Structure 1
Amino acid sequence: MTKLKAGIIGCGNISPAYLTYLSRSPYVHIAACADIVLDKAKERAAQYGVENVYTVGEMLASPEIDLIINLTIPASHGPVSLQALEAGKHVYVEKPLCLDLPEARSILALAAQKGLRVGAAPDTFLGAGMETARNAIHQGAIGSPIAATAFMVGSGPELWHPNPEFFYTAGGGPMFDMGPYYLTALVNLLGPIRRISGSAGIQISPRRIHTGEHAGDEIPVHVPTHYSGTLDFAGGAIGTLVTSFDIPGGSQLPRMEIYGSAGTLHLPDPNYFGGEVKLRKPGNEEWETLPALFECGGNERGRGVEDMARAIQAGTLHRANGLQAYHVLEAMHAFERSSREGRHIELESAPDLAEYFSQLPKNGSK
């Protein structure tokens, strides 16, 4: 099988995970690295044996590159993805798809116009943990899904990150930083979200850096740091999601649970690809650990790219797709919008995503 030739734009901290995983892929060949700081691209290329180092312009102009893997900072996700599509390349982008909905709609429209694919992280939902849970739900292990809870709560990144300012500006905060993992997992388990009601606020401000050369400096906070809301899924289940950087004392809340008419699933952290899935049936005091659908290979960031490349060559649909990423982006904005406007927010993308999902295979990916 001929591998799809891909180029990575953005050779920062997340790029090694992609390069490590995709170096073993039978569907993708990383042919080039590019970065606005060319030395970063040279360093990554040397480290992983990538044969070409380009400027961003050279990467986009190269006829050898079929797919751009956009690992730039969130503020650049939209502009770089649009440039890649204009250049006739498929694009896979780190989360979130971009920062605002009009730009996201432009990305999807341009891809449709040019007959190109858009894929987007997170792809942790394709890992053994969430796929085992998805299979259990489809097999009727918990009956009809009734409700879900998801909690991502803790202290802010200023406790461990030496330069955490960006977490408290546009595109940051607990919802845009970690929300995509939880929302994407929930959507893949329960289907599209019909409407959202939420509250969002800045509960602790300013922040103080605890480590590095800026330790002791204060950070102004420009985005909500605590979100709490209710998600009404199109299939009827009702979900609760809390994301927060305002819990300095920690928590014993579960990461995720799905409640059904015939049982409960306890799920692992959706930020990772593996983890145990546990089932408890009515009347049972003990939890049963379900056998994993397949073995987890650790940090598998790049699964979504691989699935997309395989689908492009086979002419089938891919699962970490742009429409799903748009739906998650719309949901994240809906929490803050609901809080500001004091009403439920209907998600316009729900019907289109439901149609897309109806065409995907029901069996788990391996």
Structure 2
Amino acid sequence: MALRVAIIGCGDIAHAYVTLSRHFPSFEIVGCASRTPERAEHFAAQHKLLTLNVDDALAGKHGIEAILNLTPPNSHYAISRAALENGLHVYTEKPLATSLDEGRKLLTCSQEKGLRLGGAPDTFLGAALQCARDVIDNKTIGDVVFGQANFISGGMEHRHPNPEFFFKTGGGPVFDIGPYYVTALVSLLGPVASVSAIGTIGRPIRSVSTSGSPQRGSAIHVEVPTTVQALLRFRAGAQISMSLSWDSQPTALPHIDLHGTLGRAVLPDPDFFGGSLKIIREDSTTPVATEALPWGRINWPEQQPSLANYRGLGLADFAQAIADDRPHRASGEMAFHVLEVLTAISTSTRSYEMCRIGSTCERPLPISNGASHKVSFSGPASFEL
């Protein structure tokens, strides 16, 4: 039977979760709630869901078994903690929380109550990063020695309808974009041992220019670094330099470029599930397309698809893992480890010192491990989970 899920937080990303949930029979989104009741009512009508108030959702009414926490980052802890205290499983958008103390409390609470805690991003389960995982595990490029990770853009004030929170505590490119890159790298290379970083605020005041935004023309006073360069040392030995910036224009630099003892792997944007890889060895360059693979097929946006987007794949594995009594891949432990890495990067930008990472986590099992568990794909194939 499908896990009955209620959404709390009816913002931009909620539409993708609900729309794409048709691919995932292991869970059913039955209702939605918001601190702004009118928003919940509109969203529920749009998607044919139950309109809930937040307290009823957190109380597990209407047979709700799990909360999908899509609130802004500074609300993640309070909502997730309340759900766990009331006996509900929790899957949250990134980051897990905005402080290590909050993240640790969520992990402890879920463990004490025997409940599942999971968290985005789940793009590491997509076709592109699963192909990359095969490359790493099969030593196609040998042992990874070093690499680069890059995300460079002009910022969120040009594209998000309510961008102010991106520039406040718990935001910035480190906590907004960083989870995709760090989670991808941890899934490929294992846990991080230490980080050091420098950062700066490129423009202390920004103006909202998103078309149709109710905040259009208003000023945002920036509180967090908008350009950060970090060096991550992994326990397995690899060194990865990472640049995250909202202060420039998009660049031709590869999103992730891993250099091994036998070659290189150039990977696509870890914010999405598909895209092409490039494997470079001394005698060959091999492009690897993923559009024909499950969780790599182009499907988004709905009207004019141009990329692969399967938000909810991690929640599908989470729900199926509950039914099968096995570990889920987008685990609370990995989300906490990523949170510690991001927090350490932020700390290092202020202290100019290296920060050691105290937590660890297991690399999630690859999807193509031959397990008997499957999540159905509404297409010509299914993908082993």
Both proteins in one fold, TM over 0.5: yes
Q: How many residues align?
A: 357
1:189-229 alpha-carbon deviations (Å, 9 max, x no partner):
11100000111121322223335565554432111111101
Flag structure 1 segments of 5+ consecutive residues without an equivalent: none
Structure 1 residues 121-160: aligned runs within 5 Å? 121-160=120-159
Letter in 2 for 1:5: R
Q: Identify the range of structure 1 (273-282 vs 294-303) with the bigger mean alpha-carbon deviation.
A: 294-303
Q: Identify the range of structure 1 (18-27 vs 176-185) with the bigger mean alpha-carbon deviation.
A: 18-27
Q: Identify the range of structure 1 (31-40 vs 258-267) with the bigger mean alpha-carbon deviation.
A: 31-40
Asked if the contact 1:15–1:71 (Cα under 8 Å) also holds between the matched residues in 2, the reply is yes
* Alpha-carbon distance, 1:302 to partner: 0.4
Asked if the contact 1:132–1:293 (Cα under 8 Å) also holds between the matched residues in 2, the reply is no
* Alpha-carbon distance, 1:362 to partner: 7.2
Map of 2:336 onto structure 1: 326
2:58 equivalent to 1:53: no
In structure 2, distance between residues paired with 1:236 and 1:67: 38
Q: Identify the range of structure 1 (286-295 vs 317-326) with the bigger mean alpha-carbon deviation.
A: 286-295
Q: Secondary structure in 2 aligned to 1:143?
A: coil
Cα distance change of structure 1 residues 153 and 326 upon mapping to structure 2, 3 Å threshold? same
2:262 equivalent to 1:262: yes
In structure 1, distance between residues paired with 2:292 and 2:233: 28
In structure 1, distance between residues paired with 2:179 and 2:138: 26
2:246 equivalent to 1:239: no
1:257-283 alpha-carbon deviations (Å, 9 max, x no partner):
111111111101011110011111113
Map of 1:8 onto structure 2: 7
1:126-153 alpha-carbon deviations (Å, 9 max, x no partner):
1111111111211221111111210011
* Alpha-carbon distance, 1:319 to partner: 0.9
Asked if the contact 2:318–2:330 (Cα under 8 Å) also holds between the matched residues in 1, the reply is yes
1:300-319 alpha-carbon deviations (Å, 9 max, x no partner):
10001000001111111111
Structure 1 residues 65-80: aligned runs within 5 Å? 65-80=64-79
Q: Percent identity?
A: 40
Q: Secondary structure in 1 aligned to 2:242?
A: strand
In structure 1, distance between residues paired with 2:2 and 2:205: 49
State the TM-score, normalized to the length of structure 1.
0.92
Q: Secondary structure in 1 aligned to 2:91?
A: strand
Cα distance change of structure 1 residues 314 and 69 upon mapping to structure 2, 3 Å threshold? same
Letter in 1 for 2:205: P
Cα distance change of structure 1 residues 80 and 177 upon mapping to structure 2, 3 Å threshold? same
* Alpha-carbon distance, 1:33 to partner: 1.6
* Alpha-carbon distance, 1:162 to partner: 5.1
2:186 equivalent to 1:187: yes
1:25-46 alpha-carbon deviations (Å, 9 max, x no partner):
2211112221222232232223
Asked if the contact 2:186–2:363 (Cα under 8 Å) also holds between the matched residues in 1, the reply is no
Asked if the contact 1:200–1:335 (Cα under 8 Å) also holds between the matched residues in 2, the reply is no
Structure 1 residues 150-299: aligned runs within 5 Å? 150-161=149-160, 163-211=162-210, 216-247=217-248, 249-284=249-284, 286-289=285-288, 294-295=293-294, 296-297=296-297, 298-299=308-309
Asked if the contact 2:76–2:97 (Cα under 8 Å) also holds between the matched residues in 1, the reply is yes
Asked if the contact 1:129–1:292 (Cα under 8 Å) also holds between the matched residues in 2, the reply is no
Q: Secondary structure in 2 aligned to 1:14?
A: helix
Q: Secondary structure in 2 aligned to 1:23?
A: helix
* Alpha-carbon distance, 1:9 to partner: 1.0
Asked if the contact 1:196–1:334 (Cα under 8 Å) also holds between the matched residues in 2, the reply is yes
1:47-105 alpha-carbon deviations (Å, 9 max, x no partner):
2232x221111112235111111111111110000000000000000011111110111
In structure 2, distance between residues paired with 1:177 and 1:293: 29
In structure 2, distance between residues paired with 1:168 and 1:291: 34
Map of 2:355 onto structure 1: 345
Cα distance change of structure 1 residues 237 and 56 upon mapping to structure 2, 3 Å threshold? same
CA RMSD of aligned residues (A): 2.0
Q: Identify the range of structure 1 (214-223 vs 73-82) with the bigger mean alpha-carbon deviation.
A: 214-223
Asked if the contact 1:279–1:290 (Cα under 8 Å) also holds between the matched residues in 2, the reply is no
In structure 2, distance between residues paired with 1:341 and 1:198: 9
* Alpha-carbon distance, 1:111 to partner: 0.3
Letter in 2 for 1:57: D
Asked if the contact 1:23–1:30 (Cα under 8 Å) also holds between the matched residues in 2, the reply is no
Flag structure 2 segments of 5+ consecutive residues without an equivalent: 298-307, 370-382
